[in-house]
Amino acid sequence: MAKEFELNEVEVWDGNYAASQALRQAQIDVVAAYPITPSTPIVEGYGAYVANGYVDGEFVMVESEHGAMSGCVGAAAAGGRVATATSSQGFALMVEVLYQASGMRLPIVLTVVNRALASPLNVRGDHSDMYLGRDSGWIQLDAYNPQEAYDLTLCAFRIGEHLDVRLPVMVHQDGFTTSHKAQNVTPLKDDVAYKFVGDYVPVNDMLDFSRPVTHGAQTEEDWHFEHKAKQHKALMDSRTVIDEVLAEFKELTGREYKRVETYYMEDAEVALVVLGSSVETAVIAAEELRAEGIKAGIVSPRCFRPFPYDLVRDALDVPSLKAVCCMDKSAPGGAMGALFNEISAAAYTTESRPLITNYIYGLGGRDFSIEEAKRIFKEQKAHADAGHITTPIQQFSGVRGPKLGFFETRRG
């Protein structure tokens, strides 16, 4: 007999609406926000829930994204369950305060709708803001579609608020591709969702006058190193809690999430490493290529921070795997792509040591098609057959004008 899950009927939601519904069900105490495309509907939706009496929380309109995260830090330090949303330049304006939030160990949830960073100004989705936050001390989870944006936002509260973690969490979704495109979403019932998230348990809150605490203290060389080391340890140790929360969510809903998702990797000869909404495109491309006899696979780190080094290494340690392409949806800024660097470090310690190349793609919302994914897979097959990289190590996919390639391969 199939297990009966505590689910509502199927709804048709876009990613923004899905995230806002998760915030409503978690019964946030405070959302401090400043609107920015394409994340505006998340906080706009929460504001409507407050105005219409669906939640007993506070919606604070501030003067900027810096003010939004500052308001979240104050509310979280005071002992509240806190969340907000942003994108792109707003995210960049928040960066100073992101480090404050993680250093103070405040479990704020930030729903980030990924969008290109200016200049030039662009409101479409790539991973520039996601990459910008990777060293800020926040846990980063990546949703591929609206269902996952909803699910992972609920999980984010459980993870960040866990007493062994107490760190802020970002949940990323791709701007417009996920945030504004409607798909079937099966939400939890309100009472079930809140029970999963649980009551908020304040830790070291400033309004506990029986136990005074200081937030944002200055330490200099005497204690700064120790504070940052403990913060890093908490971030790395959160891997166990993330796994436990995702396993509990699977038990509740039947929907399974892993810190590293793999598709067709058991016997893969070539693979792409991708993030976000591109995963579903790559999976379809791999399925079509397998029908043609090319053993294609996909690896996707769903948990971008803490980076799942060991799980990525295991996913790539396939005896048959000969060539891998890391797909970076962010301008590299004069270097190899950030994902390429992470994956290369993990692959270096595998027995198989596959050839690894880097594609920069999708900047400013440029489409990534199934046909383009298949072309890149086939290029990896050419590398595998030749036994060496036959193109520049880093290339641009989908750019108009002269073909751009960087870092030529040298063979002895």
The answer to whether 314 and 261 are in contact (CB under 8 A) is no
For the domain made up of 11-253, give the CATH fold.
Rossmann fold (3.40.50)
How confident is the model over 262-287, as pLDDT tens digits? Answer: 999 999 999 999 999 999 999 999 99
List the chain domain ranges: 11-253, 260-406
The answer to whether 33 and 45 are in contact (CB under 8 A) is no
Whether residue 3 has pLDDT greater than 80 = no
CA distance 388 to 380: 10
The answer to whether 329 and 162 are in contact (CB under 8 A) is no
Whether residue 114 has pLDDT greater than 50 = yes
| CA nearest neighbour of 86 among 98, 74, 101, 104 | 98
pLDDT at 412: 47
pLDDT at 403: 83
Q: Which residues have C-beta within 8 Å of that of residue 267, sequence separation ≥ 6?
A: 295, 318, 320
Give me the helices (H) in 78-211, please. 88-103, 128-132, 146-161, 190-197
Whether residue 1 has pLDDT greater than 60 = no
What mean pLDDT is predicted for residues 191-216?
Answer: 93
Same fold across 11-253 and 260-406: yes
Whether residue 2 has pLDDT greater than 60 = no
Whether residue 410 has pLDDT greater than 70 = no
What are 18's two structure tokens?
Answer: 């899905």
How confident is the model over 319-345, as pLDDT tens digits? Answer: 999 999 999 999 999 999 999 999 999
pLDDT at 143: 98
How confident is the model over 14-48, as pLDDT tens digits? Answer: 999 999 999 999 999 999 999 999 999 999 999 99
CATH code of the domain occupying 260-406: 3.40.50.920
- How does the average pLDDT of the chain come out, rounded? 96
pLDDT at 402: 85
How confident is the model over 42-97, as pLDDT tens digits? Answer: 999 999 999 999 999 999 999 999 999 999 999 999 999 999 999 999 999 999 99
